[in-house]
């Protein structure tokens, strides 16, 4: 399973990328706004910090304008993936991006039928929003299972990118449901390393080791 960071915090992306565990990055207009920075500059810096795909989202709502924006974003770096909202106009644009060899991430997916349409127009990634579905009283993980079944039934190679991840449990469940990737906020990513029993066990081992008076080096 590929692990992406859902962030525009370049320093934090660099820090976590140094672990070798960051396979890519996703951004969205809200994260760009939170950064307070110029979008093109931030995307260029992220693309230098990670080798993998970096999603940059169009702001237009009409397909021709989306195409113009997406082509510009794709020109920033070879690893840019153009993120497009799952609307009728967005899917028209996605189909054209696919024809031009530009990678796409179709975002704001909340139903399996939407995901089917995205695969049919050749989306590289589909982003089902798990946490927002949970917030809405549904079980977001059901959507991952449904999309996995549909894509496997027909051999679609669109990758399922579990998004709107809020917890390590979401990451585990998305992996068990067969999501190809999960995009994870940095604070959740950091929590993936941790377990209280790991900390407790290590503390005890270090105390016992100190009692031996030994040194390995
Ligand atoms: O980048 C899209 C998605 O991951 C947003 O997550 O937490 O704003 O629902 P969230």
Give burial (CB, 10 Å; 0-12/13-18/19+) of 8.
buried
Place of tokens 């994870």: 184
pLDDT tens per residue, range 140-154: 999 999 999 999 999
Q: What is the pLDDT of residue 198?
A: 98
Q: What is the pLDDT of residue 76?
A: 98
Q: From CA 198, how far away is CA 160, in angstroms rounded?
A: 31
**Nearest C-alpha to atom 4 of ligand 1 is from which residue?**
164
Q: What is the pLDDT of residue 136?
A: 96
pTM: 0.96
Q: Is 29 in the pocket of ligand 1 (CB under 6 A)?
A: no
Domains of the chain: 2-212 (3.20.20.70)
Rounded to the nearest angstrom, the distance between the alpha carbon of 17 and the centre of ligand 1 is: 20
Q: What is the pLDDT of residue 78?
A: 98
- Distance, C-alpha 65 to centroid of its chain: 24
> Closest by alpha carbon to 83, among 92, 70, 72?
70
Q: What is the pLDDT of residue 204?
A: 98
Rounded to the nearest angstrom, the distance between the alpha carbon of 170 and the centre of ligand 1 is: 13
Q: What is the pLDDT of residue 111?
A: 98
Q: What is the pLDDT of residue 159?
A: 98
- And the tokens for 32? 């760009």
**Coil, helix or strand at residue 57:** strand
Q: What is the pLDDT of residue 68?
A: 98
Task: For the chain, list residues with pLDDT below 70.
Answer: none
Q: What is the pLDDT of residue 24?
A: 98
Q: From CA 107, how far away is CA 125, in angstroms rounded?
A: 8
């Amino acid at each position: 399973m590929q692990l992406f960071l859902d962030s525009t915090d370049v320093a934090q992306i660099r820090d976590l990328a140094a672990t070798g565990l960051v396979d890519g990055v996703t951004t969205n207009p809200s994260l760009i706004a939170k950064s307070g920075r110029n979008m093109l500059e931030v995307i260029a810096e992220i693309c230098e910090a990670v080798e993998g795909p970096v999603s940059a989202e169009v702001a237009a709502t009409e397909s021709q304008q989306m195409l113009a924006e997406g082509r510009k974003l794709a020109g920033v770096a070879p690893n840019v993936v153009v993120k497009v909202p799952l609307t009728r106009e967005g899917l028209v644009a996605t189909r054209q991006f696919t024809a031009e060899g530009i990678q796409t991430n179709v975002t704001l997916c909340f139903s399996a039928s939407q995901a089917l349409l995205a695969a049919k127009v050749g989306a590289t990634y589909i982003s089902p929003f798990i946490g927002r579905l949970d917030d809405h009283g549904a079980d977001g993980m059901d959507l991952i299972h449904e999309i996995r079944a549909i894509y496997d039934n027909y051999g679609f190679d669109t990758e399922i990118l579990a998004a709107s991840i809020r917890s390590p449990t979401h990451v585990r469940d998305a992996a068990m449901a067969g999501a190809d990737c999960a995009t994870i906020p940095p604070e959740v990513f950091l929590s993936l390393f941790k377990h209280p029993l790991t900390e407790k066990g290590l503390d005890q081992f270090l105390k016992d080791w100190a009692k031996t008076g030994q040194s390995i080096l």
